[in-house]
Structure 1
Amino acid sequence: MKIAFTGGGSIGHVAVNMALIPEAAKHQIECIYIGSKAGIEKEAITSQFPDVKYYGISSGKLRRYFSLDNAKDILKVQKGVFDALNVLRKERPDIVFSKGGFVTVPVIIAARMLKIKTIIHESDVTPGLANKIGLKFAMKCYTTFEETLKYIPGGKADFVGGVVRDDIFTGDKNTGYELTGFSPDKQVLLVMGGSLGSKTVNTAIRSHLDALLRHYQVIHITGQGLTDQQLDRPGYKQFEFVKDELPHLFAITDTIVSRAGSNAIYEFLALRKPMLLVPLGLDQSRGDQIDNARIFEQEGYAGVLQENELTSATLMAALQKIEDNRAALTAAMNEAYTSFTPEALLQKILDDAS
């Protein structure tokens, strides 16, 4: 048995694949990965899974608006189909599992041409453009949110909930305190701006750092190249990016401020961490994070602060509301739907493709 995984452009389009690959290895299933030639997925997969063959293919950006670059990128997608055909003919996988992102479109088209069964996964409430195209060629789509089922016609979709990596539960508090130099006697606020960081969130945190430090010790994951070395204060620890350290940082965290990417917020939910979500605005996205945050707020798992409302006063007020409602938030999270484990999702993939 061999599975070709694909997905890229952000860590959100790789995270589920990264959870499934170790499970596949436990069952002696060979894995390969098809991604872009220089995207974030290449570093994530090759560093984490050196035994997994990684194939980089040509890929173009898919836009919902008119741009002269669309013509160039159509050619890149066509080249990507030929690249993917060569990989799939060489490797002959039994299944293609696609997590989304622009690079997956040529892979899914090539798999259909070769009659390889393809399953896609949609993390957000509404399908992204790549997955909308992929749905025409795939046999099945798994969804993170139950609401997504109404956007996918023909009974092609199954709701599986959030799928989180097992390693997020392995954090050690002592290691977390060693990494940060923090004390267990004061609450810890973890700030995350997504896999690429967020200048807006970073600026808001730094602008109000004095007020925050009166109440919290602050772990700030800034994004690559976005740390500010002039801000060296007791109780404030910056990281550009974390990987192996993240479970230990989670272990000492009391409250999280984050963007609203679905993979991340489902990890916070699984860890029962009260969260304040600042979703990407419509000026930077199609609104998928706004939808994700809305559902988590409705379910009682999170507070939400829209980016255009982010000020010193609103940030502190929103965090105070999280503290005031901590018991209710935790209770709601404890009652949350138990999502598929990576092992259960892998078994479902194998069953559906059999």
Structure 2
Amino acid sequence: MRILLTGESLAGHLSPIIAVYDAIKSLKKEANLESLEFMLITSKSHFLWEIFEETKIPYKTITISKRTNPFLALPFGIIAFFQALIHVFNFMPDIIFSKGGYVSVPVVFAGWIFRIPIIVHESDSVPSRMDKFMFRFAEKVAISFNESKDLYNSSKVFFTGNPVRNFIFRKNKEEAMESFSLSKEKPVILVMGGSEGAEEINRLIIEVLPELLKDYQIIHQCGVGNYDKVRSIVEKMNIYNLGGYHLFPFFKKRIADAYAACDLITSRAGANTVSEIMAVGKPSVLIPLASAVSDKQKMNAFHYSEAGAAILLGEKNLKPHLLLNVINDIFKDHLKIIEMQRAAKQLANPLAARKIAEEIIKTAK
């Protein structure tokens, strides 16, 4: 069986793709599959090698443009379509699994031309116009939020949740704390801004870092492109107890240790990130990206905050000391932490990758 995977070259797309890839491989014997071949079509990015260092999934890249001006984007779209057409023809898969994004559009369209069955997965609570366009070519559409079914009104739709990688569950808290040289005397806060980091969250944390380090230890993923700048700023601040601050550009597989070691997570609200936060059962403070398409991060965060698993803070008027006060209030109320942990675990969908894998195999057969 040949399976073509497609999605953007960001952790928010590639991590769920890897989770589905692993789930399909684990079902090979159960599904009586004689052979399995995979190929990924994605966009160019420095994250490709970072993320696929161990999985070794063969991949091809195509040229895409995210420009909103149709006259500027059209030439790139034509190039991308013919690149996708060639890659799909050469591999000729039995099925295509799409995680959405700009790069998936020409791949899905090429697959439709060759009459290859397509399954699309929608991570967010509200689909973008681009994803809605792809749905019309899909045989099945998997969704991450059961409450979103009414938005689709289609028999194609089935609920799975958002697939997360299995390795994030396999870490012991004490061992994880030792790996970061963390003390048991202070709670641990994990700060993330997605795979590329978030400059606004970085700024907020840096401004209250001296106050935070009085009571907490910080693990901070600032983004590859922001690492040198953040490190330089922090070093010049001459903070007394900087030993409690652990800065990283990008975690790779150490994200599992970070999840296990922390007591609270402050993060953006991308679908993959919040799905992993719920899967590991951690309370969180979510700061959605204000410019995200269709306010999808805000809608994701609202879903989890309504269920009691997270605190939602709007980015637009958020001040550093407001964030500090929210964090302090959470840790002052031990019962609240327990309730947030319980709510997070109830929202998790640990079998999402397997459900999608089963549907891919069933449809391809």
Q: Normalising to structure 2: TM-score of the pair?
A: 0.89
Q: What is the match of residue 49 of structure 1?
A: 55
Q: d(CA) in 2 for partners of 1:127 and 1:62?
A: 19
Q: Which moved more, 1:106-115 or 1:328-337?
A: 328-337
CA contact (8 A) 2:280 2:345 kept: no
Residue deviations 1:10-67 (CA, integer Å, cap 9, x gap): 321222101112233342421110112x2356335542322x221112323263xxx3
Q: Go from structure 1 to structure 2 and tell me whether the alpha carbon gap of 1:225 and 1:121 turns closer, same or farther (over 3 Å shift).
A: same
Q: d(CA) in 2 for partners of 1:20 and 1:284?
A: 25
- 1:317 Cα deviation (Å)? 2.2
Q: Go from structure 1 to structure 2 and tell me whether the alpha carbon gap of 1:40 and 1:116 turns closer, same or farther (over 3 Å shift).
A: farther
The answer to whether residue 339 in structure 2 is matched with residue 328 in structure 1 is: yes
The answer to whether residue 285 in structure 2 is matched with residue 276 in structure 1 is: yes
Q: Which moved more, 1:116-125 or 1:54-63?
A: 54-63
Q: Go from structure 1 to structure 2 and tell me whether the alpha carbon gap of 1:344 and 1:142 turns closer, same or farther (over 3 Å shift).
A: closer
Q: d(CA) in 1 for partners of 2:39 and 2:304?
A: 34
Q: d(CA) in 2 for partners of 1:315 and 1:159?
A: 34
Q: Which moved more, 1:236-245 or 1:175-184?
A: 175-184
Q: Go from structure 1 to structure 2 and tell me whether the alpha carbon gap of 1:45 and 1:251 turns closer, same or farther (over 3 Å shift).
A: closer
Q: Which amino acid aligns with 2:10?
A: S
Q: d(CA) in 1 for partners of 2:13 and 2:258?
A: 23
Residue deviations 1:92-148 (CA, integer Å, cap 9, x gap): 110100001100000000000000000101101111233122112111111111232
Q: What is the match of residue 229 of structure 1?
A: 231
Q: d(CA) in 1 for partners of 2:268 and 2:361?
A: 33
What does 1:181-260 align with in structure 2 at a 5 Å threshold? 181-227=181-227, 228-230=230-232, 231-232=234-235, 233-260=242-269
- 1:250 Cα deviation (Å)? 1.4
Q: What is the match of residue 318 of structure 2?
A: 310
- 1:186 Cα deviation (Å)? 1.5
What does 1:280-291 align with in structure 2 at a 5 Å threshold? 280-281=289-290, 283=291, 285-291=293-299
* SS in structure 2 of the partner of residue 164 of structure 1: coil
Q: Go from structure 1 to structure 2 and tell me whether the alpha carbon gap of 1:102 and 1:110 turns closer, same or farther (over 3 Å shift).
A: same
Q: Among residues 344, 352, 355, which one is paired with 1:344 in the alignment? A: 355
Residue deviations 1:322-350 (CA, integer Å, cap 9, x gap): 33221221232343354424233211222
Q: Which amino acid aligns with 1:122?
A: E
Runs of 5+ unmatched residues, structure 2: 29-34, 236-241
Q: Which moved more, 1:126-135 or 1:136-145?
A: 126-135
CA contact (8 A) 2:24 2:358 kept: no
Runs of 5+ unmatched residues, structure 1: none
* SS in structure 2 of the partner of residue 49 of structure 1: coil
Q: Go from structure 1 to structure 2 and tell me whether the alpha carbon gap of 1:328 and 1:46 turns closer, same or farther (over 3 Å shift).
A: closer
- 1:314 Cα deviation (Å)? 1.3
Q: What is the match of residue 39 of structure 1?
A: 45
Q: Which amino acid aligns with 2:301?
A: A
* SS in structure 2 of the partner of residue 300 of structure 1: coil
Q: d(CA) in 1 for partners of 2:38 and 2:315?
A: 39
Q: Which amino acid aligns with 2:288?
A: P
CA contact (8 A) 1:127 1:148 kept: no
Q: What is the match of residue 93 of structure 1?
A: 93
CA contact (8 A) 2:142 2:356 kept: no
Q: Which amino acid aligns with 1:31?
A: F
CA contact (8 A) 1:254 1:274 kept: yes
Q: What is the match of residue 120 of structure 1?
A: 120
> Number of aligned pairs?
346
CA contact (8 A) 1:46 1:54 kept: no
Q: Which moved more, 1:239-248 or 1:283-292?
A: 283-292
* SS in structure 2 of the partner of residue 110 of structure 1: helix
Alpha-carbon RMSD across the aligned residues, in angstroms, is 1.9
Q: d(CA) in 1 for partners of 2:202 and 2:120?
A: 33
CA contact (8 A) 2:117 2:363 kept: no
CA contact (8 A) 1:6 1:97 kept: yes
Q: Normalising to structure 1: TM-score of the pair?
A: 0.92
Q: Which moved more, 1:198-207 or 1:174-183?
A: 174-183
CA contact (8 A) 1:33 1:54 kept: yes
- Runs (4+) of structure 1 exceeding 4 A deviation are none
Q: Calculate percent identity across the aligned residue pairs.
A: 31
CA contact (8 A) 1:62 1:129 kept: no
Q: Which amino acid aligns with 2:62?
A: I
* SS in structure 2 of the partner of residue 196 of structure 1: coil
Residue deviations 1:145-179 (CA, integer Å, cap 9, x gap): 12322222332211111221101012244553344
